[in-house]
Structure 1
């Protein structure tokens, strides 16, 4: 299969390119990246997507796109309308993050069809992805729309999940956020990439949430460190101490305030499993992430530092 990947140099799109090359496909990566960043065995076609597309090879059978900019997606679909598209969207397209559900059960945001700078308006991310989905559906011969939640594993540029394997490997008392029963969903980038290639091969049509199984946070953390000494600090205390949820330098990654974000970690995975998604154990993902961090000591890891953690634990014990 001749497969066009719009990207191919960073995290998910690179993992897709690697998997497609491994399966023996004719892989073309169209991006601004230098040729050295494209996986060996793939062909680079330079393309700044703010400009009109270059001459693309004939016979492209499937396209994989991860863009968040509606103009980029519209331009690309117009250039390759006869192929099957796998568009990587996001669960942030859903307008209500408090309710569990998935495609066909949850309302979407109203689309934003212009390209918005997320530094100016981070809330535009989901609505722009809605517009991108609509452009693919309107212009492509057929399409799989894949809506990932939290993608984790080796190569993660966000540093969110990476915080936990690194911190747990250090040992000692570990501050854990919320409650051990809080449900979370993570999906290994390698599992998602493999499934995306399968959807392209099979020309699967439909909308899917690309998520892992809903799993208690305590199980996720202990999957990487079964003997960890976890001290759970509740949501009210963390909020009072100004700890940020989800991601950032003063955050506790994977923690989300409840119940307003209950739905963010309880998306429907059963239709995706029926469509060929396979999921590896979280312990395997945690081990691979830790090994990657040790091989790449400059890789980003975002979350509270050890001094802040000690301060919070001390304040927790000193509370009246």
Structure 2
């Protein structure tokens, strides 16, 4: 297979490139050069937000079986790249997001759930507040150029694993490793849904390759672990195990945490209390992706490999500048711990 990755040097893009290289595929990446490309790939330089940013792609020789795009900002970048590649790539795989579904959605809905509006011709970068509509615009741009029959829309939710550049699982691993009493947001048996970045990459390439071979179907897929995969207790237990920490998990009901002004999802990463937002994020039917071969590894493997990656960095973990920092203030955590232990 000949693969083109638009980006390819951060988190999801890197995982896609590494998986493709392990398969022996011929891989080319197009990016600005802000981060080094993995060894063994062909490199095209271009800034998709600048005039002439696709010139290197337009002038490159040959075609590709699959093109993968992970773009998260103004949809016009997806539009222009997809239009350029429509006659040069067999399939176009766009890494979108479950955020494209209208809130509050329908708990347990599949890919036919109500969607947000989006504009593939939108040139405005809406920042984090516009993330959902920009991703939907990117989907529409891909569909416009390739049609549903040659477009793969992957809609992951929370993505974890080595290389994570938002800091959710890394925060928990570092917090648990620091030891002492750790605020554990309950209920302990509350499920949390995510996808390991390597499982996402493997599924994406498997499914796109099946499409190229005429054995797979295009369109949208929710790509998240199935129900029953892990709870908050299981996640934090994995963090304790892989770090070797003797930290004490102190479980709290949601009320004291919320009363202290802690924001779910960011203040205590990956945690949402039961309610409408929880149902929106975690009430996911992944039957279609499982039917297309989605396989997920145990949470212990995701935690162990992320911890090994963090320890091997020799410096701070990479962080996306367009995402706010995560984690609770230690003084706030201590105050809540005193209250719930009281």
* TM-score where L is the length of structure 2: 0.85
Q: Does 1:7 align with 2:15?
A: no
Partner of 2:154, secondary structure, is strand
**C-alpha deviation, 1:245, in angstroms:** 1.4
Tell me, in whole angstroms, the C-alpha distance in 2 between the residues paired with 1:192 and 1:117: 26
Q: Of 75, 79, 90, which aligns to 2:84?
A: 79
**1:196 matched residue in structure 2:** 204
Q: Does 1:240 align with 2:289?
A: no
Q: Does 1:316 align with 2:340?
A: yes
Structure 1, unpaired ranges of 5+: none
What per-residue deviation string (whole Å, max 9, x for no partner) do you get for residues 89-128 of structure 1?
0000010246323444410011144233334xx3321112
Tell me, in whole angstroms, the C-alpha distance in 2 between the residues paired with 1:191 and 1:229: 31
Tell me, in whole angstroms, the C-alpha distance in 1 between the residues paired with 2:261 and 2:254: 11
What per-residue deviation string (whole Å, max 9, x for no partner) do you get for residues 189-229 of structure 1?
11111111212211241311111133321122223326863
Structure 1 pair 153–42 and aligned structure 2 pair: CA distance change class (3 A):
same
Tell me, in whole angstroms, the C-alpha distance in 2 between the residues paired with 1:182 and 1:105: 26
Asked whether the 8 Å contact 2:111–2:222 carries over to 1, the reply is: no
Tell me, in whole angstroms, the C-alpha distance in 1 between the residues paired with 2:182 and 2:226: 24
Asked whether the 8 Å contact 2:154–2:220 carries over to 1, the reply is: yes
**2:70 matched residue in structure 1:** 66
Pick which of 218-227 and 151-160 moved more. Answer: 218-227
Asked whether the 8 Å contact 1:93–1:127 carries over to 2, the reply is: yes
* TM-score where L is the length of structure 1: 0.90
Pick which of 230-239 and 141-150 moved more. Answer: 230-239
Tell me, in whole angstroms, the C-alpha distance in 1 between the residues paired with 2:67 and 2:249: 44
**1:207 matched residue in structure 2:** 220
Asked whether the 8 Å contact 2:105–2:113 carries over to 1, the reply is: no
**C-alpha deviation, 1:305, in angstroms:** 4.4
**C-alpha deviation, 1:148, in angstroms:** 0.8
Tell me, in whole angstroms, the C-alpha distance in 2 between the residues paired with 1:65 and 1:15: 13
Asked whether the 8 Å contact 2:118–2:136 carries over to 1, the reply is: yes
Asked whether the 8 Å contact 1:96–1:106 carries over to 2, the reply is: no
Runs of 4+ residues over 6 Å off in structure 1: none
What per-residue deviation string (whole Å, max 9, x for no partner) do you get for residues 137-182 of structure 1?
1211501100011100111110012122222233332211131122
Asked whether the 8 Å contact 2:143–2:151 carries over to 1, the reply is: yes
Partner of 1:151, secondary structure, is strand
Q: Of 239, 249, 255, which aligns to 1:224?
A: 239
